[in-house]
Chains A and B, each alone.
Chain A
Amino acid sequence: MSDLINLNFTVNGEKKHIKLDPSMTLLEILRNILKLTGTKEGCGKGECGSCTVLLNGKAVNACLVIASQLEEAEIITIEGLGKGEEIHPIQKAFIEEGAVQCGFCIPGMIMSAKALLDENPHPSEEEIKWGISGNLCRCTGYSKIVSAIEKAAKER
C-alpha cells in the first residue's frame, strides 16, 4: 500500500474530501467507500463497460481510473443522473422500450448513452451502436437498448 493522499473531487454534485490510497480505483472508491453501488463491476479490467461513469463529462471505465487521477474531477454516476424525484429521459426510455433484462449492464449502458447524447444529440443508429460498443450486454441482444437511446434522443 502506498502513502495515503488527500483528494478533492465532486460526485453527483457533492464535494468530497477524502484521504485514500492513490492506487485505489474509482470503482472501489464509489462502491466501497462512498457506497454508491449502482456502478457495477463485471470484469474489473476495462473489458465490459459495466462500471461506466462520467468523468469530467466523458464516459470512462471506473475500474481503470485510479485515485490519483481524480483531483478536482467531476464524477457523475447512475445515482446522480435524475433530478431529485424525476428520472432522466434516458432512464425513462430504457423502461418504456423494454431495454432492461437482468439489469447488470444497464447503469453502465445508460451512462455511455448519456455521454453519447451529450456529445451528439441526434446520433444515427450506427453511431449509437458504436457509442455503446464498449458496454457488453448478454441478455438483450442490444436491439431494445438501441431503440431506447434513439427514443431518448428524439424526446430531448
Chain B
Amino acid sequence: MSVVGKSVERKDALDKVLGLAQYVDDMHFDNMLIAKGVYSKETYGKIISIDISKAERVKGVVKIVTSKDIPGENLVPIVRKDMPFLAEDVVRYYGEPVAYVAAETIEAAEEAVKLVHIQYKPLETVLSIEESIKEKAPKIHPHGNIHKSYKIRKGDVARGFSEADIIIENEYRTPHQEHSYLETNGMLAVPAYEGGITVYGSMQCPFYVQEGVANILNIPLNKVRIVQTVTGGGFGGKEDIPSLYAGNAALLAYLTGRPVKLVLTREEDFFTSSKRHPSLIKYKTGARKDGTLTAIEVTYYLDGGAYSTLSPIVMWRGLIHATGPYRCENVRVDSHVVATNRVHCGAFRGFGQPQVIFAHESQMDILADKLQIDPAEIRRINAVNVGDETSTGQKLETSVGLLETIEKSVDKSEWQQKRSIYEQDKGDKRRGIGVSSCFYGVSLGAGGRKYERSGAYVEINRDSSVNVAVGTTEMGQGMRTVLSQITADALGVKYEDIYIVPVDSTRVPDSGPTVASRATVMSGNAIRDACRQLKERLGKVAEEMLKIPREVLVWDNDEVYFKQNPSVKLTFKSVIEEAYKRDVHLATQGWFVAPYTTFDEETGQGWCYFTYVYSTNVAEVEVDMTTGIVTVLKVTAAHDLGKAINPALVEGQIQGGVVQGIGYALIENLLYDKSGKMINPNFSTYIIPTSVDTAVIDPIIVEHIYPDGPYGAKGFGELPIIGVAPAIVNAVFHATGVRMKELPVTPERLFSVIGEKK
C-alpha cells in the first residue's frame, strides 16, 4: 500500500498546533548571553571611528565586537565573497551591521547599542538601477557597480525581427519584496569542547552557515556543528543571510566562552535581511500575424543592493527563463545585476523569475491584443512541448506538461464565457480575466553545479522503526512529510514508523542548500539510494528465512511476501529481528548527484536544468474605476510538477504562493527616503495580504511523470508565486483597457492612469 500520492497528515502538525514546536527563540541555555546588533545609521559612508568605551561600561555588558575582533576572514562566503560580517572601513547601506553586543540581559544589550558611537564621513550614494549604470556613477565596489553580467545568443535576432509582422517594445519595473516570514532570523551559538562550536538556528542552508562560521572564526569545518531549529518560514529569505547572523553569534560565543542568543526584531530583520531584487526590464518581441514568435530581445537589470550575495545566480535563473516557456528561434538576452546603496538582495521564491515573467507575460498579452488573438490561444500557439528547445538550446526530452496546464486552467475557470461576460461590465466596477504561463528549472542546474548532490542516512532500529537524516531542511513546505512518504514506500513500511531527525550538519555530508525546489528530488533520491542498499541486505535475510529467491519478494505494508503467492510472507519486524541476530548492518548512507547540466558563458547556450515544472494561472479581478482598487476574485492555478507525493501539501503551496503573488502584484512595496533609508520596515506600513485580501483559489495538479525523480516527482514550492502577478495585471487590462507596466499596481497608480485615459 503506497503512501506516495496520498495526503497523509503532516509529521509536524501536532507539535505546531500544541505550541510545542521549538523555534530558536524558544530555546534557552544556562549562562546564556543575549546579543544585539549595532546597525549603520548612514547609507554610504566611510567609518572614521567606532567608540565603544561608554557602551562597555553598561552594567551587564560582557563583550562588544567590531570587525577588529574577527580571528578569521571578515567575509560571508556566498557566491562571491564581498559582504563583510561586520563593516570595516565603509558602510554601504543603511542598517549594515557594524558591531554586536553580548550582555546578561536584553535591556543591558539595548542600552549598550545606543551608546556605541560611530563617526562617518558620508559618501555620494547610488540608489537606483538607473543611477548605478550611469557612466559617472560613484563606485560602490573596487570592481565597479556591475556585480555580474550574463547573456544568451541564439539564432539571429535581426533576421527574426525582419520576419515579424509586428514588433512591440516596452519597459517594465518591479519593486523589492520582503519575505515576511513570520519568524524573524535568529541564532544561538554554544561553545563546544576542544575549540568547537555548535550553532542552532532558523535557516534553510545549514552547510552555508557551517562554512560562514568556520570562516569568521578561522576554525576547520569539522569543529562547526550546525543544527536547524524549527524554522518559521523561509521563502528564500533564510538562504544566504543566516550565515551572517550565525557568524556574529558564533564570534561572541567563541570570545566569551558562553552561549549567545541573537534573535532579530522585526525592524532589524527588515533592515538587514535580503530582499527580492527590484528590476528594470526592456523587452522587445517580434511575431507573425498568426501569433508565432520570431524574435525576442531583452535587457534585464536587477538591483542587487550593496553586496552581491546570491545575485549572480538569481540573475542567471532569470536569464534562462527570460523568454518564457515558448519556442523562439532568435533570442538575445543581456542581463546585469548592479550595485546600489540599498539592502542586498538575494533569494526569494521564484529567484529572479517573477520579475522577468511579469515582463514576458505582459508582452504576450499585448501581442494577443494587437493581433486580435485570444490571450490563452497565443500561449498555446507558442508553448513548448516534448522535443522543443528552450532559449538556451536545451531540448526538452520528457515531462513537459505546459499545454495541459493551459487547457485545464482555461476550462476549469470558464475562460471563454467569462471573457465575454466580463466585457459587458461598463459601470464603476469592472471585472476582467487574465492568464499567464511560465516554467521553472528545478534545482540549481548549471548555475549551481557544485552543489548538485545530496546525502541521506537511513537506519532501521531493532524495533523496526526507521530514522532518516538528510541535509535539506523543513521550513514549512512539508519536506519532512514528503521524505517520510518516500522512505515508507522505498522500504515497504508504514509512514508512521518513519522519523526524520532534526537536520544536523554532522549527520550527512554537505548536501547543498534547501532552495530551488530541490529537496524532494535530491534528498528523495538519496533516501531511495540508501533504502536500496538496506533492502539488499534485508533481502538476503528474508530469502533464507522464506527459502525464496529475493528477486521475487515484494516489500509492502510492513510485510515481505512471495510475488506469486502473497500468503507466503513474513512481517517486516520479524526480518529485522533476524537481521539483528545475524549482526547485519542496518544503517547506511545514500547519495545522489543530479543529472548533468551545462552552460556556456560566451553563447549562453546549454543544458541548463535537468528538468522543468510548468504552470498556467488564470486570474479574475474586479476594478473599482472610481478608486483604482483591484480586488482579486479568483485564481485558477494549474501546475505540472511530475508527481504530487502529497496532494494536500501541493495545494497548500499553491494557495500560499498565490497569496504572496497577490501581495507582489498589488500591495507590497518597500519605500526609501531620499537618503536611502527604508521608511516602512514593519507590518503596519509594509503591508502583506491578510485573510481578507485573499481570493478564491482553485489549485489544479497536472502530472507529467519525470522518470528520474522519486516516483516521478520534479519538485515544487517556488512555482506557485511566479505567474500570479502577470495574470492579475493582464486581468486588470481586460477589465479596464489600462496596461500597467510597473508593480505593485496600487490604487494610486492605477487610478492616475485610468484618470488620464478618461
Q: Which residues of A contact B (CB under 8 A)?
A: 1, 31, 36-45, 47-48, 50, 77-79, 82, 87, 91, 94-96, 98, 100-107, 110, 128-130, 132-146
* A110 / chain B contacts, CB cutoff of 8 Å: 17
A102 touches B181 (CB 8 A): yes
- Chain B positions 204-233 with a Cβ under 8 Å from a chain A Cβ: 230-233
Assembly CA distance A139 to B231 (angstroms): 12
The verdict on B592 contacting chain A, using a C-beta distance below 8 Å, is: no
* B691 / chain A contacts, CB cutoff of 8 Å: 128-130, 132-133, 135, 137, 142, 145-146
- Chain B positions 527-541 with a Cβ under 8 Å from a chain A Cβ: none
* Distance of B231 from chain A, by nearest CB (Å): 7
Q: Mark B467-478, 1 if CB is under 8 A from A, else 0.
A: 000000001111
28 residue pairs from A and B, CB less than 8 Å apart: A40-B182, A42-B182, A43-B683, A45-B266, A45-B682, A48-B182, A95-B9, A95-B17, A98-B651, A100-B13, A100-B16, A101-B656, A102-B181, A102-B231, A102-B232, A102-B475, A103-B16, A103-B476, A105-B182, A133-B691, A133-B692, A134-B690, A136-B180, A139-B476, A140-B656, A141-B654, A141-B660, A142-B655
Q: Mark B1-17, 1 if CB is under 8 A from A, else 0.
A: 00000010110111111
The verdict on B383 contacting chain A, using a C-beta distance below 8 Å, is: no
A82 touches B659 (CB 8 A): no
Nearest A residue to B477, CB-CB: A101
The verdict on B694 contacting chain A, using a C-beta distance below 8 Å, is: yes
B13 touches A137 (CB 8 A): no
Nearest B residue to A78, CB-CB: B19
* Distance of A151 from chain B, by nearest CB (Å): 13
* A145 / chain B contacts, CB cutoff of 8 Å: 691
Q: Which residue of the partner chain, among B19, B181, B477, B648, contacts A107 with CB atoms under 8 Å?
A: B19
A101 touches B22 (CB 8 A): no
B16 touches A79 (CB 8 A): no
B10 touches A98 (CB 8 A): yes
Interface centre among B23, B683, B691 (most CB of A within 10 A): B691
Asked if A138 meets B22 with Cβ closer than 8 Å, knowing A43-B683, A103-B16, the reply is no
A139 touches B656 (CB 8 A): yes
The verdict on B688 contacting chain A, using a C-beta distance below 8 Å, is: yes
B183 touches A42 (CB 8 A): yes
Q: Which residue of the partner chain, among A43, A79, A138, A142, contacts B233 with CB atoms under 8 Å?
A: A138
B23 touches A94 (CB 8 A): no
The verdict on B265 contacting chain A, using a C-beta distance below 8 Å, is: yes
Assembly CA distance A50 to B26 (angstroms): 14
B683 touches A48 (CB 8 A): yes
A140 touches B655 (CB 8 A): yes
Assembly CA distance A132 to B649 (angstroms): 22
* A94 / chain B contacts, CB cutoff of 8 Å: 13, 17
Of all A-B residue pairs in the complex, the 8 with the closest CB atoms, nearest first, are A38-B19, A102-B476, A104-B232, A103-B16, A141-B655, A141-B659, A78-B19, A47-B683
B652 touches A140 (CB 8 A): yes
Q: Mark B621-654, 1 if CB is under 8 A from A, else 0.
A: 0000000000000000000000000001101101
The verdict on B684 contacting chain A, using a C-beta distance below 8 Å, is: yes
B19 touches A43 (CB 8 A): no
The verdict on B235 contacting chain A, using a C-beta distance below 8 Å, is: yes
Assembly CA distance A77 to B19 (angstroms): 9
Nearest A residue to B661, CB-CB: A141
The verdict on B308 contacting chain A, using a C-beta distance below 8 Å, is: no
Assembly CA distance A82 to B25 (angstroms): 24
Q: Which residue of the partner chain, among B10, B25, B658, B659, contacts A100 with CB atoms under 8 Å?
A: B10
Nearest A residue to B180, CB-CB: A138
B652 touches A101 (CB 8 A): yes
Assembly CA distance A50 to B181 (angstroms): 12
Nearest B residue to A108, CB-CB: B182
Q: Which residue of the partner chain, among B25, B233, B690, contacts A102 with CB atoms under 8 Å?
A: B233
Q: Which residue of the partner chain, among B25, B182, B477, B652, contacts A144 with CB atoms under 8 Å?
A: B652
A37 touches B26 (CB 8 A): yes
Q: Mark B457-496, 1 if CB is under 8 A from A, else 0.
A: 0000000000000000001111000000000000000000
Asked if A100 meets B682 with Cβ closer than 8 Å, knowing A38-B19, A129-B692, the reply is no
The verdict on B18 contacting chain A, using a C-beta distance below 8 Å, is: yes
